Amino acid sequence: MDIEQFRKAGYQAIDRICEYYYSLHNRPVISKVEPGYLKEHIPLTAPEEGEDFQVIADDFQKFIVPGLTHWQHPSFFGYFPTACTFEGMIADLYATSACNPGFNWSSSPASTELEALVMDWACQLLGLSPEFLNSSGVGGGAIQNTASDSALIAAVAARSLYQRNYPEVSLQDLVIYTTTQTHSLGVKAGLVLGLSVHVLEVKAEDQFSLRGETLQAALHEDEKLGKRPFILIATVGTTSSGAIDNLPEIQQIAKNYPSLWVHVDAAWAGVALSCPENRERCHLNTINEFADSFCTNFHKWGLVNFDASTLWVRDRKHLTDALDVTPPFLRTKHGDAGTVIDYRNWHLALGRRFRSLKLWFVLRSFGAEGFRNYIRKASPLSISLNQVFADFVTKSETLSLVTPPSLALTVFRLDPKPKSLDQPPLSLESLNNLNRLFYGRISARNDILLTQTVLNGVHCIRFAVGAARTEAPHIQQACDLLCKEADLTLEAWEQTTLDEGKPSVSSI
Ligand SMILES: *Cc1c(COP(=O)(O)O)cnc(C)c1O
């Protein structure tokens, strides 16, 4: 493809992307293809002769689009939102056109300098302490691939620091602290580093938040066993239920354990800190006072298309002490002088994408106020739309909340209200079976997408608001549809329990 062919194919690609977005709401949310569907359309080896680009572009529409789950669809309420913007897409196009793996300042000065600057913009937007600013010269931030990479990097830095301070301690005794609600990134960091993970229990009555006393008890217990907890991965806004660990209590305990690194994973909820009204609930002051590292994904709720996981550390030296390997071919005048940031020493890989362009375009185009409005409600991303859904669940005769709604996430289950006081309630096992049936019905539909979770043995369903095109009518549609599916589930359950002679719902 030459430059003029690229111009033509590029215009067509943009036109087709526009058509995709115009037609999105009419498409099924979920792809209904069967595993292996693509093998019927795409040969098992690359073609020997080059093909005409128009045919390739058309095959994308024919074979790939039908296999997509449409995360930007207004009725996508699964997992977590991946709000993306056209500004971000254009930035990605420019970034890929420059195609520079800016690992050192000298390898592409604009790439490093823009990242250092926009990470400071984002740091201020979220209200993080000035200690995390790149301009502080001590702390700083870098864009990582994902929150999992960010947590792994924090663990690598914390481990290396611990080993330098306690060279006599064997690796076998090092322990990573997480809770039962921590994202899989905690256990994964343990797997990758070959270290043990102590998963702390959290309680439903604490809304699945880690309490100080649980941490204290674990620290005592491990001390007795000769174990060395060196990092706690705390969460602000867990994936399952949006739980927020009790950071002020954790701080009180952790201050007696200065060698315990505290990493705050706020992958989904962190961008809500841009709005001052969310800061207390998310313990911003405590984060600012004592977290060693903090991560949020702008690529979830934060308007930047994948990937843009922002990681800040209070002391960049802990990253570079752990990760700086400089063979002769990577030495540069500025790097040797220590006058520039070489981001390759702030993450695991060498090369890195020019991702700061996305953040730069988005934050400029929206402005801080526009960004906050977006998080709040405006029309799209919406704590208020989630409240509408949570109110619906609260008023419903058949559904109930499992935990209080957290920001833009509601966790609920089918839980029919007893018809009379003297009937025994359904057992947890029966309720779980009922909810499996309910979720089975919901997931068989292709006009809405919700995901499920289990909270301390309770089977539940998650409703995550935040797809950029979700408006009030889509929430209403979801309420109507869930109401109907709830009734149909109860009818079907009724039928099977009658057949099997189990306690029926109508008898409760
Ligand atoms: C989504 C999520 C993650 C994982 O994000 P990746 O960037 O895909 O690794 C981690 N923690 C929380 C709380 C999340 O919501």
Token pair 């990479």 in the structure block, residue: 149
Is pLDDT above 50 for 508?
no
| Helix or strand (DSSP H, E) at 228 | strand 228-235
pLDDT at position 335, please?
A: 81
Q: Give the residue, by CA position, lying nearest to ligand 1 atom 2.
A: 267
* Pocket-testing residue among 297, 298, 304, 309, ligand 1, by greatest number of atoms within 8 A of Cβ: 297
Question: In this structure, are residues 406 and 242 in contact, taking their beta carbons and an 8 Å threshold?
Answer: yes
In the numeric block, which tokens belong to residue 484? 């109907």
Homologous superfamily of 3-68 in CATH? dopa decarboxylase, N-terminal domain (1.20.1340.10)
Mean of the pLDDT values across residues 204-227?
97
Q: Are strands 196-200 and 174-179 parallel, antiparallel or unpaired?
A: parallel
Cβ of 148 closer than 6 Å to ligand 1, yes or no, is yes
- Burial of 314 from C-beta contacts in 10 A (0-12 / 13-18 / 19+): buried
Is pLDDT above 60 for 105?
yes
Nearest alpha-carbon partner for 299 in 355, 348, 350:
355
pLDDT at position 167, please?
A: 97
Q: Listing from the earlier edge strand, what are the strands of the sheet with 309-313? A: 140-144, 309-313, 293-297, 261-265, 228-235, 174-179, 196-200
Outline which parts of the chain fall under CATH 3.90.1150.10.
385-499
Outline which parts of the chain fall under CATH 3.40.640.10.
92-372
The class level of CATH for 92-372 reads alpha beta
Query: What mean pLDDT is reported for the chain?
Result: 93
pLDDT at position 378, please?
A: 41
pTM for this model (two decimals): 0.94
**Ligand 1 centroid from CA 267, angstroms:** 5
pLDDT category at 337 given cuts 50, 70, 90 is confident
pLDDT at position 276, please?
A: 95
pLDDT at position 20, please?
A: 97
Q: Which of 167-171, 247-251, 379-383 has the lowest mean pLDDT?
A: 379-383
For the chain, the 3-state helix, strand and coil shares in percent, each to the nearest 5, are: 50, 15, 40
Q: What is the DSSP string of 72-116?
A: TSTTB-SS------HHHHHHHHHHHHH-----STTT-HHHHHHHH
**Which whole-number Å values give the CA distances from 326 to 104, 153, 329, 409, in the listed order?**
11, 18, 8, 44
**Which whole-number Å values give the CA distances from 492 to 447, 455, 461, 488, 505, in the listed order?**
21, 25, 19, 6, 11
**Which whole-number Å values give the CA distances from 20 to 17, 24, 29, 449, in the listed order?**
5, 6, 13, 19
**Ligand 1 centroid from CA 296, angstroms:** 8
DSSP state of 468: T
Token pair 């779980």 in the structure block, residue: 432
Cβ of 462 closer than 6 Å to ligand 1, yes or no, is no
Token pair 């795409």 in the structure block, residue: 42
Nearest alpha-carbon partner for 146 in 319, 296, 291, 282:
296
Mean of the pLDDT values across residues 130-155?
97
Token pair 């499992």 in the structure block, residue: 402
SS3 318: helix
In the numeric block, which tokens belong to residue 28? 């099924």
Outline which parts of the chain fall under CATH 1.20.1340.10.
3-68
Mean of the pLDDT values across residues 446-450?
95
In the numeric block, which tokens belong to residue 504? 């029926």
pLDDT at position 505, please?
A: 55
Mean of the pLDDT values across residues 50-58?
97
**Ligand 1 centroid from CA 114, angstroms:** 25
Homologous superfamily of 385-499 in CATH? Aspartate Aminotransferase, domain 1 (3.90.1150.10)
